[in-house]
Structure 1
Amino acid sequence: MSSNDYIKYVTQQVVKYMDTPKEQRQQEKEIKKETRTPFWFKWFGVLPISIMLWVKKRKAKRKRKI
């Protein structure tokens, strides 16, 4: 990739960013944040998910007994 291509790409991205309204950028950011996988799941795999589900299930069982 030549430097001209890179400069052209960066310029296009900046212009695209500046052309979009602020509200739309904020909405897209919120959507992206909601769909992103949590940090613990991304870095440690299935183990945190299984522990979290086990704890939730255990808490639900205790609430039913009371």
Structure 2
Amino acid sequence: MAIKTDDYIKYLTEKVVAYMDTPADVRKEQRSLHKSTREPWLVRWFGMVPLSVLIWWNKRKRKKEHPGP
């Protein structure tokens, strides 16, 4: 179901007004909070694959340095 043009313009106007009404320091604080809580760019772009490869690679490197029984 598509949004009607009038409803969409009303929604956009409400968002812009709400943005303009919030003080700049509050917006800056929200932006920094959002940046600190989001996951690293590797995970966002490629999922869990880079993390699993990194863990595997570190384990492999440690086994070469300290060969166990």
- Output the TM-score relative to the length of structure 1: 0.71
- Output the TM-score relative to the length of structure 2: 0.68
Percent identity among equivalent residues? 41
* Larger helix fraction of residues: 1
Q: How many residues align?
A: 59
Structure 1, unpaired ranges of 5+: none
Instruction: State the match for 2:23 in structure 1.
Output: 21
Structure 2, unpaired ranges of 5+: none
Superposition misfits of 4+ residues, deviation over 2 angstroms = 50-55
Secondary structure in structure 2 of the residue aligned to 1:37: coil
Determine the C-alpha separation between the residues in 2 that align with 1:37 and 1:24: 22
Determine the C-alpha separation between the residues in 2 that align with 1:53 and 1:26: 35
